Amino acid sequence: MSDFRGGLPGDADAHFSGHLSERAIVELRDGALLDADSGIHLDGCEVCRNALEEAKGRADTIGAALAELEEPFDVGTAREAVQARLAGGRSTTGPGRDEKRSTSFGTLGRAATFLLVTTGALSALPGSPVRDWIGGPPPQLSAPSEMVRTMAVEPVGMRMTVEDGPVFVRLDQVPSGTVIEVRWLAEPSLGVRAAPGSSFTSAEGRVQATIAGGPVSVELPGSIDEASLTVNGRVYLRGAPGGLDVTGPVDTRDTETIRFIVR
Amino acid sequence: MDFDTTFEEQYPPLVRYCHRLSGDRDTAEDIAQEAMVRLFERDVEGSTAGIRAWLFKTATHLIRDRYRVEENRKRLMSENPVMPTEPDSPEQALERMHDKATARRALDALPARDREMLLLRYSGFSYREIAEAVDVATTSVGTLLARAERRFSDVLLAAGEAA
């Protein structure tokens, strides 16, 4: 367990040692705890600052470990399979699916049939434990629109006025599939917005953000030619007086906006 | 809601999450596709973030349900085992040293809810969205996440020291 337990109001872990709890440290790191007291404490407490840095390092380590689990998959084939099902077919496997997959589903299908029959029979028995989970409340999927309404969240972000260039925007830990929309504004304003949990630091003409989720909105001052956007260490666009060099994964583009999808 | 755009945006992160959560690629693709089918069949509407949250929550429930069925199957099978368990081969023992196996082991060491929360967090969801998805109080998310991270890191650390 962590040594960092302390006196945050309402913290169930509080041991009144005078330091932020591990929970508070994690919440601060994730941008979920924004109270002034914690910030003031952090400014004056090297132990807690070190704990925060340690938590950030741990997040990097965990993120890297989880990335090890990634395997390639075929989005096109999956799209066809879903389209086929939506069109009325119940085929789960699409064209080009490998043999292992087909075999796997055949086996799973038979197993599922067996289990449906078996659990159905078991559930008919008084006192059967199977009754508990069959008879229990269904997953909360029956009112998806309402759920979406309750889960829709406002983005967070920052904005600054920039009279002179250059302008740099750096986005880190952006999940794959995240949409980034870059827009040029008429006013001398630089802004970045993303999902709650994202954190931002800034200096004159610079914004650095750790992105918790999308969509991400980047607004650049149209009056400044020299600007760059870097995502996960890769340059997506670089503007110079001579023109704009776009090197990121463009999804759509028009005269005012460029929409990227992070790969 | 445009099918192609939504699919391109949502499917890759969803199948990655399902793969990390289930540990099985076929299961991950199957669950992710099922969630996408339900999304369009039910005409779910909302912001991109809201739809993403709906998909991940749906997938989380589907994986839970699948494991519940799988556990029941294992229980039934255990009463009449048909195959002995094979001992680990040297190759398998070596494979466990691999980063991927270590990460998998670290995930498997977590209780199911902690695993879901950790993976949702590292898929970019906010504390409120995580709380909605796994049915816990938003105020508990920080504590539970801190615990899950600590356990996950301990397994990684132990594997690193053993290597």
Tell me, yes or no, if A66 comes closer than 8 A to chain B by beta carbon: yes
Output the pLDDT for position B89.
52
Q: Measured between CA atoms, how close is A263 to chain B, in angstroms?
A: 9
> Looking at CA atoms only, how far is residue B37 from chain A in angstroms?
6
Question: Is the separation of the CB atoms in A187 and A221 below 8 Å?
Answer: yes
Contacts A153 to B, Cβ<8 Å: 49-50, 53, 126, 128-129
What are the φ/ψ torsions at residue B100 (nearest 5 degrees)? -65, -45
Residues of B in Cβ contact (< 8 Å) with A251: 8
**Among residues of chain B, what percentage have pLDDT more than 70?**
79
In this prediction, residue A95 carries a pLDDT of 34
Please name the residues between 72 and 131 in chain A that touch chain B, using a CB distance below 8 Å: 73, 75, 78-79, 81-83, 85-86, 92, 100-101, 104-105, 111-112, 115, 118-119, 130
Q: Is A203 exposed, middle or buried (0-12, 13-18, 19+ CB in 10 A)?
A: exposed
pLDDT for A177 equals: 85
**What chain A residue is nearest to B16 in terms of C-alpha separation?**
A70
- Smallest Cβ–Cβ distance between B69 and the set A59, A115, A215 belongs to A115
Tens of pLDDT, residue by residue over B40-94, are 998 888 888 889 999 999 999 999 888 766 665 555 555 544 443 454 455 544 5
The nearest CA of chain A is from the CA of B58 a distance in Å of 7
pLDDT at B78: 56
Query: What tokens were used for A251?
Result: 């999804």
The one-character DSSP state at B110 is: S
> What backbone torsions phi and psi does residue A35 show, to the nearest 5 degrees?
-80, 150
Q: Which chain A residues are closer than 8 Å to B124 by Cβ?
A: 175, 178, 195, 197, 211-214
Q: How many CB pairs under 8 A join A and B?
A: 213
Q: Give kind and range of the element (H or E) at residue B81.
A: none
Question: CB distance A176–B57 less than 8 Å?
Answer: no
- Determine the pLDDT at residue A230: 85
Question: Can you tell me the ipTM of this complex?
Answer: 0.75
Gap from B12 CA to chain A (nearest CA, Å): 6
Q: For chain B, what is the mean pLDDT? A: 82
Cross-chain Cβ contact A119/B58 below 8 Å:
no
B100 contacts on A by Cβ (under 8 Å) = 68-69
Sheet holding A199-203, edge to edge: A199-203, A206-210, A167-172, A227-231, A234-240, A243-246
> Splitting chain A (263 residues) into consecutive groups of 10 residues, what average pLDDT does each group show?
39 59 88 76 89 90 85 86 79 38 38 41 41 37 38 68 82 88 86 84 80 88 84 82 81 85 86
Give A112's contacts in chain B (Cβ within 8 Å).
69
Integer Cα distance of B77 and A214 in angstroms: 44
Query: What's the pLDDT at B49?
Result: 87
User: Dihedral through CA B14, CA B15, CA B17, CA B20, nearest 10?
Assistant: 180
The verdict on a CB contact (< 8 Å) between A26 and B123 is no
Angle between helix axes B138-162 and B99-108 (nearest 10 degrees) is: 140
pLDDT of A180: 93
State the pLDDT at residue B69.
Answer: 61
**Domains identified in chain B and CATH numbers:** 3-79 (1.10.1740), 104-158 (1.10.10.10)
Nearest CA in chain A to B32: A78
Residue B61: list chain A partners with CB under 8 A: 139-141
**Alpha-carbon gap, residue A31 to A252, rounded angstroms:** 31
Show Cβ contacts of residue B151 under 8 Å, excluding neighbours closer than 6 positions.
Answer: B106, B109, B110, B114
- Kind and range of the H or E run holding B124: none
B contact residues 83-102, partner A, Cβ 8 Å cutoff: 99-100, 102
pTM of the model: 0.51
pLDDT of B52 reads 92
Please list every residue in chain A whose beta carbon sits closer than 8 Å to the beta carbon of residue B150: 1-2, 22
What's the pLDDT score for residue B25?
84
pLDDT band for position B163 (50/70/90)? low
